[in-house]
Amino acid sequence: MFSRSCISLLELSSGDVLNFPQTPRNLPRVMTLEGVIPDVKSSDGVDEDISVPPSEICEKKIIVAHFLPLHAQKDAKSGKWYFSLDEDPVLLQLKDGFPSGTVVIYVGSLKVDIDASEQEEVSQKLLEEFNCVPTFLPSELHKKYYHGFCKQFLWPLFHYMLPMCPDHSNRFERQLWQAYVSANKMYADKVMEVINPENDIVWVHDYHLMLLPTFLRRRFTRVKLGFFLHSPFPSSEIYRTLPVRDEILRALLNVDLIGFHTFDYARHFLSCCSRMLGLEYESKRGYIGLEYFGRTVYIKILPVGIHMGQLESALNHPSCSMKAKEIQEQFKGKKIIVGADDMDIFKGISLKLMAMEQLLMQHPEMRGKVVLVQILNPARSTGKDVQEAKRETYSVTRRINRVFGFPGYEPVVLIDRSVPFYEKAAYYSLAECCIINAVRDGMNLVPYKYIICRQGNQKLDKAIGVASDSPRTSTLVVSEFIGCSPSLSGAIRVNPWNIEAVADALNVALTMPDLEKQLRHEKHFRYVSSHDVAYWSRSFVQDLERACKDHYRKRCWGIGFGLNFRILSLSPSFRKLSIDHILSAYKRTNRRAIFLDYDGTIMPESSIVKTPSSEVISVLKNLCSDPKNTVFIVSGRGQNSLSEWFAQCENLGIAAEHGYFMRWNSTSSWETSSLAIDLDWKQIAEPVMKLYTEATDGSYIESKESALVWHHLDADPDFGSCQAMELLDHLENVLANEPVVVKKGQHIVEVKPQGVTKGLVAQKVLSTMIGNGNAPDFVLCIGDDRSDEDMFESISGTSCTTYSSSQVAAPEIFACTVGQKPSKARYYLDDTADVVTLLKGLTTDSSLKPRCGGEIQVPFENIILDE
């Protein structure tokens, strides 16, 4: 049933429980064929690229969470541990969405401490009986990791509570962060014990394990890896206060699919990626994707559902019917409002009670007729804030009951104990209204459970005396700050901080006509019953499979150190351009064309000084001095700047403004593109751009002779991108009948004449050389942005069509992009320093063959420098 990767775990009896294999320090750099990256090195220490086709082993689903879905109890007499499944956690319920026969392995920690001497036996027992793999965290580590970093720092921050004062929340502590990192590493190591990376799916859950994807991806670059966040994801203004914000974002981006309950949470995550990592997302056929180093990280938005079978079992439980009769008798003649919340500061319990107080104050006729039953679930964390919230809850309750109660009537009933689910179901089934008033909550499934319980069943109906064919009703008052709110369109949504509005909502819910209650209930029941936990898990896994379909079609590199590790995924034909490789071709050819971009290629984008360095000038002069070379700078910059900067390079060709202006050397005159003469469109476009510039702080207009460019690099990232899209649409409409194209680039919107591209420059130079009988046998083209992709495509297309028709041998083509990213080029260089180094290597050979001074040469080879 298990793959061979499970061997070490299945051999726990060997007594080596504390020495599980650790994540290897070294990762093979490249894998070109379908298979898995090897775990070992060859005898000489060199990484081997062994192809191991995916096997026919049935895939497992590995569910990773902080806690295993188990109850644990130690017998006091025998000293033996006894375990049973905990049916409540969604982690256990989600398996209903998987095909029958699917092997599901759970990885997580236990809620009890297991002595080191017992861990081996317990691990064996849990694996054999429950398919559970326990992660044994040392007690002190678990305290710092869970109760420290997770519950006292991350959890409040993700619920919009900043550590402004040490009395209310903990501030960031490096040692707690290190415990979080260590714990995530230990969970990842446990996953590695049971995974068959070619087949298995790993699904990681919640904020406790946000770093685990980095550790797992470092070990298995092609593992199918998904993550679902069950808590809110805060807005970028909150999240950016996190000192380790980049590390967590990059770790999450090491998965293939990230799931969120609502679009708001997903939008906040995408905004953080944009503002802090400079990443842009786009929607493709209904799916949102982030391009990250050649990989597409997909975003899934779907709230988790409830387990219908569990609810039906609870409603059919004899104790449920008995409890329902008891509740019916206890509150006879009264309308019940029910609430069920964990005891913590974000559930808004005291605000809910104050709304009930306001309701009774504004509507005296409801006194004695309405009762709020508030179920307090045990707190999941300890701390002063929880104790304060509990004290306030009891204080407000006593005040309400003292002011508005009388013998035989208490307006508020607190149930502060662990309540079995069948009892909760009884309260839900009899409540006229359910109110969930949390000030911030990830999902909260209580409204879903309430709706199903209000639908009832024959057994419960008989117990409480309701006709089985009678119409079902329910009303919901839910906070707009909880994850289930968007999916409950028939609920009354409230701002929990507005006590008067919540009181009004309760009044509306209680006095609503029965027909309206029925229609709202039916609408909710259709959604909740069809979007259960099985639907949620099935949908997530299907999308994860789709997100992973390209895993074996690309080459993968592991780059970055520590938590900055990420995978670079590129086409198998895409590789780094080495000086040795190109130099051999350079030396044996005689008619070379070299095209170079400027900004981002030989001039760093981040440089404030945009004039070329003396080193660049020297390199270009040496290249141009070789009579075998025709070198061109192809840039989007204006002709005056370029001609001034490169005045010393007399034999250098320049194509300015993407080829609108062009000259072969310093003594030749500028040629203007014949494709565009009329520039009257500027009078239409410029006023529109000025409008957006005035409205967008940090933006400006660059006016070229042939084009207009609107820049928004220094504007707010979200607002700038939004304005760019609006400007693009606006300009396309007003310029629809003009001979121009409107394009959106990296932080720019550009309007330029139709047909003016860098690709046409390359095509013109190559065609001229061929027409003069000097067909190039070597073409080098280096650029860094989208405009240079036209050049890469053009030099390949020109070679294929022109050379085949003229029966001339095709040249050796080196199309090279700057930076490791998807491109039409076959080669890449890491940065501008690499470009200059490469060109220097070529000049070593070119400097031996000086060009005759003063003689004007017909270009034999073009070197294009991209902007």
Tokens of 861: 């080879």
Average pLDDT score over residue span 724-751? 89
Q: What is the pTM of this model?
A: 0.78
Amino acid at 666: S
Please give the mean pLDDT across all residues of the chain. Answer: 86
**What percent of the chain has pLDDT above 70?**
88
Which pLDDT does position 866 carry in this prediction?
Answer: 39
Tokens of 710: 């609107």
Average pLDDT score over residue span 204-231? 95
Q: What confidence tens digit (pLDDT) does each residue in 292-316 have?
A: 988 899 999 999 999 999 999 999 9
What is the Cα 726 distance to its own chain's centre? 25
What is the Cα 650 distance to its own chain's centre? 50
Q: What confidence tens digit (pLDDT) does each residue in 146-191 have?
A: 999 998 899 999 999 887 766 655 788 999 999 999 999 999 999 9
* pLDDT band, very low/low/confident/very high, at 5 (cuts 50, 70, 90): very low
Strands 60-67 and 103-109: what pairing? parallel
Classify the C-alpha dihedral 145-146-147-148 as positive or negative.
positive
The H or E element containing residue 827 is strand 827-829
* Selection from 492, 449, 459, 456 nearest residue 471 by Cα: 456
* Stretch among 408-422, 529-543, 846-860 having the lowest mean pLDDT: 846-860
Residue with the two structure tokens 């009930």: 356
Residue with the two structure tokens 């027409």: 771
Number of H helices, E strands in the chain: 28, 33
* Selection from 422, 529, 532 nearest residue 472 by Cα: 529
User: Cβ–Cβ contacts within 10 Å for residue 705, how many?
Assistant: 14
d(CA 629, CA 651): 10
* pLDDT band, very low/low/confident/very high, at 654 (cuts 50, 70, 90): very high
Strands 224-228 and 132-134: what pairing? unpaired
* pLDDT band, very low/low/confident/very high, at 675 (cuts 50, 70, 90): low
d(CA 506, CA 219): 54
Cβ contact 274:281 at 8 Å: yes
d(CA 91, CA 63): 7
d(CA 651, CA 624): 6
User: Cβ–Cβ contacts within 10 Å for residue 683, how many?
Assistant: 8
Which pLDDT does position 803 carry in this prediction?
Answer: 55
d(CA 720, CA 713): 8
Residue 191 Cα distances to 69, 169, 212, 213, angstroms: 16, 32, 10, 11
d(CA 27, CA 39): 8
Q: What confidence tens digit (pLDDT) does each residue in 329-366 have?
A: 999 999 999 999 999 889 999 999 999 999 999 999 99
